[in-house]
Amino acid sequence: MSIVKQLLLLHQSGKGKKTIARDLGISKNTVKEYINKVENTGFNITELLKLDNPVLEAKLFAGSPAYKDKRYENLKSYFEVYKTELQRVGVTKMLLWQEYKEVHSDGYSRSQFNYHLAQSFKAQNPSMVLEHTPADKLFIDFAGKKLSYIDRETGEIISCQVFVACLPYSDYSFAMAVHSQSIPDFLKALESCLYQLGGVPKTLVPDNLKSAIIKADNYEPQVNKALADFATHYNTTVTPTRARKPKDKALVENQVKMIYSRVYAKIRNQQFFSLNSLNQAIGIHILAHNQTRMQKKDYCREERFLANERSLLKGLPDECFELKYYKTLKVAQNNHIYLSKDKRNYSVPYLHIGAKSTVIYTHTLVNIYVNGDKVASHVRVQSPGYSTIKTHLCSQHQHYLNRSPDYYLNRSRDSETLFSYLTHLFGQTNKYPEQLYKICDGIFSLQKKTPTNIFNKAVEKATLYEQYSYQFIKNIIINKTYDTQEIEQETLPEHDNMRGAAYFN
């Protein structure tokens, strides 16, 4: 879905289908299929781009089965034969298509035949001089050689990767040291670069870094989800270079060489004790590099950038990018998903127990999707435990969590007798709260099963005897002793037949 968003952004900016297919490294038919799907269904592209990936996928793929055209499989078996035939005198694509149609009357049209045939042959492209337009591309790479700083506490030398980027039109450069080529460090450096430039180019052109590209391929590279999300956030696209084609990114390769001499060499005798101080030194020398007049030109990189390019860059969004992580997790029987990275459980509405969910989490939020719908959102807590929203629980479990003295007192306010009894129950007993809650549940159960006048009499009698027990009230009701009056014991009259203490002495 991240690649689909890139496709829609390019289409919205006015790019043609062939251009989009070439830039994203996918088939023109695939581009056409997505664009037609959006246009035929009447979706608004701007609104689609705002949707999270699972929601977008549910809208675009509402159960339509995938299929494979049998004509292509048939034509594919002829590719090697056609390649040999075209080398023979007088054989043309037109002739091959006519012979193909004679055998397969329901086969491809001439244009489709030529397209698939051309796709099957390996193109031989000579080198050429590329003309770059302002604010169009940003080339991205990591330098092969590392820099380092010294840990003050341990004396350990910490090696750092150096991120390098340049705008090919002005050759304006940026460099920054980071701890590694990991996705968080890579995107942090790339974001710092965009804020240094003061805007966003139309497309990002990374080398085939593991932090940027999942699988390198000349025609259909798989862009890392994190980088695709980053590009969508900054309203730009990603166009990776071809694998093993260094000429595609000759400018940034040349920038790396120049940074070796204009940055690395200048700081070779300096010692740094933090990543921040190292980057400050890199920034000073990169600025000097951008302000140095270029050979055979009467301007420097910074002058050309400020004069012709900076104003054409797209504006930066109001919020910084938050890296998104993706997980597919099953909703457990306790209606929670377990995020192993934090060792924490996050609740999901109990109706989705047993379902597979897509979890997208950032540094601050955890969003949970089931069948393309966002069913839960939590503040991320990076520590073991449970994050539970009460409304996600079934009514029985909600009642269990809601229990408290105030909860039971509020339930008894309709009966002054019961309210008084429970007030004494919570105020005059030293029992554990959990025991008191069970007593209250039992008393309310008796209230439902017993006529009101009988129940109130039983409660009054229990209050009189200061017996705060479910079983005591239950016995009164069962034994029907709620109406019996207490018999006052009469004292015996004085008489001679009394033995006092002296008798026993």
- pLDDT tens column, 362-417: 888 899 999 888 989 999 888 888 888 877 776 555 555 556 677 777 778 878 88
Q: How far apart are the first and last CA of the chain?
A: 104
Between CA 110 and CA 95 the distance in angstroms is 10
Q: How would residue 219 be classed by pLDDT, with cut points 50, 70 and 90?
A: very low
454-463: average pLDDT: 84
- pLDDT tens column, 240-261: 775 555 555 566 677 888 889 8
Query: Beta strands of 207-353 (E only): which ranges?
Result: 213-215, 222-223, 237-238, 325-330, 336-339, 344-347
Q: How would residue 218 be classed by pLDDT, with cut points 50, 70 and 90?
A: very low
Angle at CA of residue 261, ends 187 and 156, nearest 5°? 60
Alpha helices in 450-482 (DSSP H): 452-464, 470-479
147-160: average pLDDT: 91
- pLDDT tens column, 26-82: 888 888 887 887 777 777 777 777 777 777 777 776 654 333 577 888 888 888 888
350-365: average pLDDT: 86
Between CA 503 and CA 505 the distance in angstroms is 6
Per-residue tokens: 99: 């012979």
Max mean pLDDT range (17-26, 150-159, 326-335, 476-485): 150-159
How much is the pLDDT for 48? 73
- Tokens 């977008």 belong to 56
Q: Can you identify the CATH homologous superfamily of domain 137-312?
A: Ribonuclease H-like superfamily/Ribonuclease H (3.30.420.10)
Phi, psi at residue 346, to the nearest 5°? -120, 135
Domain ranges of the chain: 2-120, 137-312, 325-395, 403-479
How much is the pLDDT for 181? 87
Question: Is 374 buried (19+), middle (13-18) or exposed (0-12) by CB count in 10 A?
Answer: middle
Give DSSP secondary structure letters for 84-106. Answer: HHTTSTT--HHHHHHHHHHH-TT
Q: Strand pairing of 203-206 and 147-150?
A: unpaired
Sign of CA dihedral 281, 282, 287, 288: positive
Nearest to 15 by CA among 37, 45, 48, 42: 45
